[in-house]
Amino acid sequence: MTTETAKKKWLIFSENDTPNRRNLKKLIVLVVAFILILVATNPSILFFLSEEAKDAVREGYNSLFGDVDQITGVVRINWVSIFKIIIIILVMLIVQVLMKLILDNVKPKTSKGASIISMLKSFGGYAVVVIGVIWGLSAIGINLSTIFASIGIVALIIGFAAESLIEDIVVGIFLVFEDEFNVGDIIEYNGFRGTVTSIGVRLTSIEDAGGNVKLVNNSDLRNILNRSRTHSNAICDIPISYGADLAATEEVLKGIAEKMPGKYPDLFREAPQYMGVQALDASSVNLRFMAKVHEKDIYTGARTMYREFKIGMDEANIEIPFQQVVVHHAD
């Protein structure tokens, strides 16, 4: 084993570690550092040491880093405050889980209600963290009123730095209450077409048909095309051969189309409409049909029409052309 290999083997954070292992090691390092600082600044919590030993620890730390009492006078770090923080964390986790449980079991009847529930979930998560931090700081003796009273300049700086965050929050609220789009709507954003799966305080999640999820800052959601507001048109172009009787074929296809709403009532609002001859291709005459469907069914509607027309044309012995190549032999 070379010296370089040995060094890598004993490194705390190895390049070959998985993210979970690295996070676990970081957590261990942070916990050890916290315990060392806690013990050094509060030797009284070492209940198994005698008072003389505790005084020796305090004096040794004072000789290296200064007066420990100045730290403990500002921040009360002892077993009581530690238990308070643990209780606060547990309470906040209980509140968060309870809130999530309640909101997950609310079944809104409209997409607007689903959007409000999504926003409440996101807002509730941030609120729990903020309240927990403020409560925890007060538990260890930090005077928050003094901090808030003297935070004017800092707040101004943070306000400028967090301008985009504030804009995301404000725009997100307006998106929900102005009903521009809701959870479950299909929208297009910069060429990305997908279903809105959640509207949060900062981000909106859009999932396309392939399962790809795009997260967009609320403040960037401009020039959105909401395809769920009105009906969409499923297009189906049926090719027939040049030798087929056009008028007779049109009547057969119209008859097939009229039966589709009865067979697929959840898919077609009405019978697909015959739009006429769409194109005269090299080997076929293309006839176009268009059906009004929900945006989420636009591709399913087209596939269903192709299937029904193919079955009906086979039964009516109407030829569907295929590309042909004519070869001439020179004498």
What is the per-residue pLDDT for 10?
A: 45
Other CB atoms closer than 10 Å to residue 196's CB: what's the count? 26
Q: For 36-82, how does the pLDDT look when each residue is reduced to its tens digit (9 = 90+)?
A: 666 665 666 666 667 777 677 667 666 665 555 555 555 555 666 77
- Cα 275 from Cα 103, distance rounded (Å): 47
- Cα 75 from Cα 46, distance rounded (Å): 18
**Average pLDDT in the chain:** 75
Q: Say if CB 184 and CB 195 are below 8 A apart.
A: yes
What is the per-residue pLDDT for 308?
A: 92
* Domain boundary assignment for the chain: 17-74, 78-229, 232-315
**How large is the average pLDDT for residues 93-105?**
80
pLDDT > 90: what percent of the chain? 11
Q: Give the three-class secondary structure for 220.
A: helix
Comparison of pLDDT for 319 and 112, the residue scoring more: 319
* pLDDT band per the 50, 70, 90 thresholds, residue 275: very high
Closest CA to 261 of 230, 229, 234: 234
Comparison of pLDDT for 12 and 164, the residue scoring more: 164
Other CB atoms closer than 10 Å to residue 19's CB: what's the count? 7
Q: Give the three-class secondary structure for 204.
A: strand
Q: For 124-173, how does the pLDDT look when each residue is reduced to its tens digit (9 = 90+)?
A: 777 888 788 777 777 776 666 665 555 555 555 555 556 677 777 777 77
pTM as predicted: 0.47
Q: For 165-188, how does the pLDDT look when each residue is reduced to its tens digit (9 = 90+)?
A: 777 777 777 777 777 778 888 888
Q: For 189-217, how does the pLDDT look when each residue is reduced to its tens digit (9 = 90+)?
A: 888 888 888 888 788 888 887 888 888 88
- Cα 99 from Cα 156, distance rounded (Å): 33
For helices 19-41 and 51-65, the axis angle rounded to 10 degrees is 110
Answer whether residue 225 shows pLDDT above 60: yes
Q: Does domain 232-315 have CATH number 3.30.70.100?
A: yes
pLDDT > 70: what percent of the chain? 69
- Cα 149 from Cα 152, distance rounded (Å): 7
CA distances, 25 to each of 9, 28, 31 (Å): 14, 5, 10
